[in-house]
Chains A and B, each alone.
Chain A
Amino acid sequence: MTTRIGVVTFPGSLDDMDARRAVRLAGAEPVPLWHRDKDLHQVDGVVLPGGFSYGDYLRCGAIARFSPVMESIVAGAKEGLPVLGICNGFQVLCESHLLPGALTRNDHLHFICRDQRLRVENADTAWTSSYEAGQEIVVPLKNGEGGYVADERTLDELEAEGRVVARYLELNPNGSRRDIAGITNEAGNVVGLMPHPEHAVEPLTGPTTDGLGFFTSILKRLVNTP
């Protein structure tokens, strides 16, 4: 049976096509999900893509959080449904309180777009098991509000519990606390990531193919699940 990974399209999503393509290249079946449709169509996992959902009005991800599809995704995530939020998707996950903290305006105020070196810190989540802990990868990064913030206690907890999934190397591109590029929830099924692995899945269009691992990880996990 083919693994089905849903990719949500909100008004203003930009990277839903690339996310679906990454899912397909990893060997799974991408399933388009629509923001107004509560039905998750029996998918085995969900990707919340990058972009500017609802124009980033109010706060990034704040309006998307209350869309009908998110009701089902939040409920599913609490039951163990694997969810990967990339960039705007990460912002939606924080606004939904599926992940702690928040993403704020880059400290230098500029939109940044670069190929970013990362270290995968946690290779035990639903979305990172194709990597080795400590592995360095390069994937594109593009954001205006990518600065990860949380109070010191939350940051200490994330560190102590190994819930920092990826960290920026060489340069902190947006003022994120403790160079955090991505985090996971306690169960490891929900991952938020500011850089864009879906743009680094084939040599023609990406700087590397380092991003593919996020999408093969989920396949590996679902195939191994009895």
Chain B
Amino acid sequence: MARVVVDVMLKPEILDPQGQAVQRALPRLGFEGISDVRQGKRFELEVEGPVDDAALARIREMAETFLANTVIEDFTVRTES
């Protein structure tokens, strides 16, 4: 079985208050030098059968219609060996 990873991130122009809250907490915890944090989602898909172009196309369609809201989010799809 092969694994395909879909990463979903808020678009750069969309405010990420959760990421900001994480960033602001870092100095308090002694982690200096981080100027920005953006928080996203990672989906790990276990694919039955070969991960060929057709399978990847279906996964991109899935990401586009369901895993990401492309009004506010971007996504990337990659195969993990």
**A residues neighboring B (CB under 8 Å):** 58-59, 62, 66, 94-95, 100-102, 104-109, 147, 149-151, 175
**A149 engages B67 (CB within 8 Å):** no
CA distance in complex: A102, B21 (Å): 21
Among B10, B18, B21, B72, the one with the most A-chain Cβ atoms within 10 Å of its Cβ is B72
**B71 engages A105 (CB within 8 Å):** no
For the residues of A in contact with B, the DSSP-based class is: loop
Nearest-Cβ distance from residue A192 to partner chain B, whole angstroms:
14
Chain A residues with CB under 8 A of B10: 104
The 5 closest A-B pairs by CB, nearest first: A102-B72, A102-B71, A109-B17, A105-B17, A107-B17
Q: Which one, B15, B66, B67, B69, contacts A175 given CB within 8 A?
A: B15
**A109 engages B69 (CB within 8 Å):** no
**A59 engages B21 (CB within 8 Å):** no
Judged by a CB distance under 8 angstroms, whether B34 is at the interface is: no
Q: How many A-B residue pairs have CB under 8 A?
A: 34
Chain A residues with CB under 8 A of B69: 59, 62, 95, 102
Smallest CB gap from A60: residue in B:
B69
Judged by a CB distance under 8 angstroms, whether B14 is at the interface is: yes
Smallest CB gap from A59: residue in B:
B69
CA distance in complex: A149, B13 (Å): 10
**B67 engages A58 (CB within 8 Å):** yes
**B71 engages A62 (CB within 8 Å):** no
Chain B residues with CB under 8 A of A109: 17-18, 21
Chain B residues with CB under 8 A of A147: 15
Among B14, B15, B66, B71, the one with the most A-chain Cβ atoms within 10 Å of its Cβ is B71
Chain A residues with CB under 8 A of B71: 94, 100-102, 150
Q: Which one, B21, B66, B72, contacts A149 given CB within 8 A?
A: B72
CA distance in complex: A106, B16 (Å): 10
